[in-house]
């Protein structure tokens, strides 16, 4: 089970020195240092150098550090990897992943360098073909997480943005199921209207209820809401403790089930309760 928190996953354009500095003090569980869509073509070369230097000289603490390179089929991808490899990235986030072969190609390139011996791969789920191939992609070498690319998905599907995201539900759930099957992380797509706190909260709650580990974010103003929504509440933690205590007591009496708040508690509920406590503990460690 995934216990490292990924409640808030903040995109930072690799070209923006000020945002790169600022991020060292922001309460993000993870950062996506972006060289792809947030960086204009004329800035690609300077951004990758700035980012490699920044990652080598700055301390982002416990935050997970992902670098989103350009697709390896693009004119920038291979050089992004060359420059970023020197900074020993914790994970490379590969965009436009349509098939497992895209991940296998990157994995071979990482295998070929000692600096990237430990580097994990994350994949953007942002095309209909990628979504349909989600299971084989999730099972590919070095895979550690999916990031939903909902803007690209909506574009390719020709579907509309709606507050309930009904047109995107299958495209969200298929990669989510693949991620769960493979035991990797899955984080939801961005909420574009970054000044709309209520809309963001509603979408975070929807993603959380579906089973996502967290949400990708584009602006620091979105951090607190994602951190709050994707964390277990005090009430959930208290219930988890009571379920475990009641189940232990039932087991001691030789019984296989307990009842808490009028609801049955079985083995499987204890697994969920323990996960809730483990997540709460991991979040507490992260925020220490
Ligand atoms: N990460 C870290 N810091 C950020 C940030 C981010 N994603 N977005 C903004 N900031 C910082 C700014 O540098 C600014 O810092 P300062 O006040 O110390 O100078 C502060 O937060 C306030 O920024 P603000 O003026 O409100 O935002 P903006 O109008 O300059 O920029 C965006 C708005 C959306 C362009 C910007 O947030 C952004 O580039 N987001 C990331 C986009 C991205 O990565 N997209 C790709 C994936 S979808
Ligand atoms: Mg994209």
CATH of residue 103's domain is: 3.20.20.60
Structural domain contains residue 3: no
Report the alpha-carbon distance of residue 164 to residue 228 in Å, rounded.
Answer: 20
Asked whether 174 and 131 are in contact (CB, 8 A), the reply is yes
Domain boundary among 180, 204, 229: 229
86, 221: one domain: yes
218, 266: one domain: no
- Give me the phi and psi of 277, to 5 degrees please: -65, -40
Structural domain contains residue 259: yes
Protein residue with least CA distance to atom 42, ligand 1: 218
Report the alpha-carbon distance of residue 171 to residue 150 in Å, rounded.
Answer: 9
265, 137: one domain: no
pLDDT at 205: 98
Residue 112: give the domain boundaries: 8-229
pLDDT at 185: 98
Render 57-93 in DSSP notation, one character per residue. H---TTSEEEEEPPPTTSSSHHHHHHHHHTT--SEEE
Asked whether 140 and 107 are in contact (CB, 8 A), the reply is yes
Q: Look at strands 263-265 and 258-260 and give their pairing.
A: antiparallel
Report the alpha-carbon distance of residue 214 to residue 137 in Å, rounded.
Answer: 20
Protein residue with least CA distance to atom 33, ligand 1: 219
Q: Please, what is the end-to-end C-alpha distance for the chain in angstroms?
A: 22
150 CA from centroid of ligand 1 (Å): 19
276, 220: one domain: no
Structural domain contains residue 243: yes
Domain boundary among 194, 209, 229: 229
Pure H helices in the chain: 17-22, 44-57, 77-85, 100-111, 128-132, 134-138, 150-157, 169-182, 197-210, 223-229, 234-252, 267-287
3: nearest Cα among 209, 226, 229, 279: 279
Structural domain contains residue 79: yes
Residue of 40, 60, 218 to mutate, ligand 1, most atoms within 8 A of C-beta: 218
Q: How many domains does the chain have?
A: 2
Asked whether 186 and 215 are in contact (CB, 8 A), the reply is no
pTM of the model: 0.97
218, 238: one domain: no
Torsion angle, CA of 91/85/48/104, rounded to 10 degrees? -60
Report the alpha-carbon distance of residue 115 to residue 97 in Å, rounded.
Answer: 23
206, 223: one domain: yes
Structural domain contains residue 89: yes
278, 225: one domain: no
The ligand 1 atom at the shortest distance from the C-alpha of residue 23 is 2
Structural domain contains residue 100: yes
Structural domain contains residue 51: yes
197, 76: one domain: yes
Domain boundary among 193, 211, 229: 229
Report the alpha-carbon distance of residue 56 to residue 41 in Å, rounded.
Answer: 24
Asked whether 270 and 247 are in contact (CB, 8 A), the reply is yes
Structural domain contains residue 2: no
Is the distance from the beta carbon of residue 27 to the nearest atom of ligand 1 less than 6 Å?
Answer: no
209, 256: one domain: no
221, 121: one domain: yes
68, 138: one domain: yes
pLDDT at 2: 62
23 CA from centroid of ligand 1 (Å): 10
Protein residue with least CA distance to atom 37, ligand 1: 219
Exposure on the CB side of residue 32, measured as CA atoms within 13 A:
35
For 26, residues 6+ apart whose C-beta sits below 8 A from its C-beta are 10, 220, 223
252, 184: one domain: no
**Angle formed by the axes of helices 197-210 and 169-182, to 10°?**
50
Report the alpha-carbon distance of residue 274 to residue 173 in Å, rounded.
Answer: 24
Each residue's pLDDT expressed in tens, for the chain with a length of 288 residues? 568 999 999 999 999 999 999 999 999 999 999 999 999 999 999 999 999 999 999 999 999 999 999 999 999 999 999 999 999 999 999 999 999 999 999 999 999 999 999 999 999 999 999 999 999 999 999 999 999 999 999 999 999 999 999 999 999 999 999 999 999 999 999 999 999 999 999 999 999 999 999 999 999 999 999 999 999 999 999 999 999 999 999 999 999 999 999 999 999 999 999 999 999 999 999 887
């Amino acid at each position: 089970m995934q216990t490292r928190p990924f409640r808030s996953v903040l995109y930072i354009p690799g070209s923006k020195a000020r945002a790169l500095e600022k991020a060292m003090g922001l309460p993000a569980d993870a950062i996506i240092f972006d060289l792809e869509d947030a960086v204009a073509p004329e800035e690609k070369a300077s951004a990758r150098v700035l980012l490699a230097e920044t990652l080598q000289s700055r301390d982002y603490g416990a935050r997970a550090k992902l670098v989103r390179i350009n697709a390896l089929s693009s004119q920038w991808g291979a050089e992004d990897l060359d420059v970023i490899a020197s900074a020993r990235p914790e994970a490379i986030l590969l965009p436009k992943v349509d098939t497992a072969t895209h991940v296998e190609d990157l994995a071979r390139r990482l295998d070929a360098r000692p600096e990237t011996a430990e580097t994990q791969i994350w994949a953007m789920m942002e095309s209909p073909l990628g979504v349909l191939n989600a299971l084989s992609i999730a099972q590919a070498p070095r895979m550690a997480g999916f990031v939903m690319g909902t803007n690209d998905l909506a574009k390719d599907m020709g579907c509309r943005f709606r507050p309930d995201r009904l047109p995107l539900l299958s495209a969200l759930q298929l990669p989510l199921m693949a991620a769960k099957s493979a035991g990797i992380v899955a984080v939801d797509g961005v909420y574009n209207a970054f000044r709309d706190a209520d809309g963001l909260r509603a979408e975070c709650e929807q993603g959380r209820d579906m089973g996502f580990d967290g949400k990708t974010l584009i602006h620091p103003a979105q951090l607190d809401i994602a951190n709050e929504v994707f964390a277990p509440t005090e009430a959930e933690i208290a219930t988890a403790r009571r379920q475990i205590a009641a189940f232990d007591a039932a087991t001691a009496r030789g019984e296989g089930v307990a009842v808490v708040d009028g609801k049955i508690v079985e083995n499987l509920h204890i697994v969920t309760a323990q996960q809730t406590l483990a997540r709460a503990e991991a979040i507490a460690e992260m925020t220490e």
